[in-house]
Amino acid sequence: MDEFGYTQTLDRSIGKFASFAAGVSYISILTGVFQLFYFGFSMAGPAYAWSWPIVFVGQLMVALCFAELAGRYPVAGSVYNWAKRLASGTSSWLAGWLLMLSSIMALGSVALALQITLPQLWSGFQFVGDGTGPFDFAMNGVVLATIMITISTLINAFGVKLMTRINSIGVFVELIAAVLLILALGWHVVRGPEVFFDTAGFGEGHDLGFFGVFLIGAMASGYVMYGFDTASSLGEETKDPKRTAPKAILRAVTASFLLGGLILLFGILAAPDLTDPKVGSADGGLQHIVLSVLGGPFGKAFLVCIVVAVVVCTLAVHAAAIRMMFAMARDNNLPFSRQLSKVDPVRRTPTVAAIVIGVLAVVPLLINVMQPAIFTILSSISIVLIYLSYLLVTVPLLRKRFQRKWPIRDAEGSEAGFSMGKWGLPVNILAVLWGGAMTLNLIWPRQEIYNSVPPFEWYLQWGGVIFVAAVTVGGALLYRLKIRHQTGVLAEHAAAVAAHPSSGPAGEAAQRPAQGAEPSRSPASPDLVDEAVKVP
């Protein structure tokens, strides 16, 4: 950590499988695929499944770029710290700010997935009404999600060892369940693959035909395949992170694609009746198919595994949000930074950040408690922010490649753990094009996503655009007018002496008190100038 100007304060105890499990559990195929299958199917029918390989290819391009960065900078709050070394202070702060907000919203929307599964396991989990009222679904979902977030807060606040132990066990269960589910659905296939080449009347009457509804349905796949950077965000707590984190990122996204794709494939081929309205409804979906195909006991056993997946996904999303808040706070880049960056001396985890993230995650749920379309709205906004924050890394990385400043020459004692070599430039270009296209597709103010139920108002349909614009512009103003004047590593988190201080005024400034510090070069990347990092 001295190499990056920080002292080691977190508990470095995460092994290879736990690092891989963190990425897999954030992506969580049994959570995401089951949570939004109904939405993708209701929009574009069986052929929506083609969005899965398309999203995978695009996200793999991003994951490869992130693997290179993780092999160089395995630091907490990965996206923020990567952007800090590639771009200006404003854009790097925005990358962290947007990802932190998206993680908080994703935490709530992931916990909401319990509402789709638990009441189908046992009607007693429907605490609010009987599920038939216009707001029963959303209100009960908020109750279940709040309970889940409270449990996640307690576990994450207790320490990373407990969190990763539970997470690893949960991921093991999830992977075994996914394989068994694929085999079980494959055994009960009742139709051929030609169903994926039939639009089945979907898109009729739409301005863009089937392509238009396919773009909407693709959100169901886009929502699942992100968060692979979590493996690197836990880098400060991972053993041999420069080699472990890049592999974990690529393995997580690949394993998720293969297992999730096969579940989609055989789920649609095994469904008894694809015209059943329950297949495309929020209280049915893929869960309804599993229960119909496998019967009561076996079907419900798999639903229990889905609940396990939702629990570990919640833990992983919460953990990633905590590390982002901690990373920004120790650079004094957030209000109340000293409190938010505090690390418990015994458990060696950012306890205050864990509690604050948990409380903030419940706020969007309470605001949308009377909104029946709560899933699609929260999911859409959270992934728009995710894709924007990813672009704030891949775009400056591409600029550095064109300037021939990346990959950087190995600094003294700083060996890269992963490199794409000559493929770096074309992969990076594709990552940027993909990120831009998906961001535009996700933020487009479609009524089907942002205002799908009455009352139909323009401000509800444009709510996603307005919210994203507000937090982006508001965040930039907050940084430019206030935060940037205080930024600098807090004394309790700063390395006593930079690992390899450069000679001259910059090297001397790196060792002066925070109040009088001048901009200095990052010891890890002498070619790239950081925003003023003040190290006492």
293 pLDDT more than 50? yes
Within a 10 A sphere around the Cβ of 10, how many other Cβ atoms?
Answer: 21
- Report the pLDDT value the prediction gives residue 377, as an integer from 0 to 100: 73
The whole-model pTM stands at: 0.87
* 423 or 371, which is more confident: 423
| Least confident interval from 28-32, 74-78, 156-160, 366-370 | 366-370
Dist CA 532 CA 521 (whole Å): 8
259 pLDDT more than 50? yes
- Report the pLDDT value the prediction gives residue 117, as an integer from 0 to 100: 86
Q: Which of 216-225, 362-371, 375-384 has the highest mean pLDDT?
A: 216-225
Within a 10 A sphere around the Cβ of 254, how many other Cβ atoms?
Answer: 14
CA distances from 288 to 112, 122, 161, 299, 303 (A): 18, 14, 36, 9, 10
Per-residue pLDDT tens digits for 15-53: 999 999 999 999 988 888 988 899 999 999 999 999 999
Average pLDDT of span 81-107: 94
Query: Which region holds residue 5: left if phi is over 0, alpha if psi is between -120 and 50, else beta?
Result: left
Average pLDDT of span 62-80: 94
- Report the pLDDT value the prediction gives residue 410, as an integer from 0 to 100: 60
CB 450 within 8 A of CB 463: yes
| Least confident interval from 16-30, 334-348, 368-382, 521-535 | 521-535
Average pLDDT, the chain: 86
| Least confident interval from 65-74, 89-98, 377-386, 486-495 | 377-386
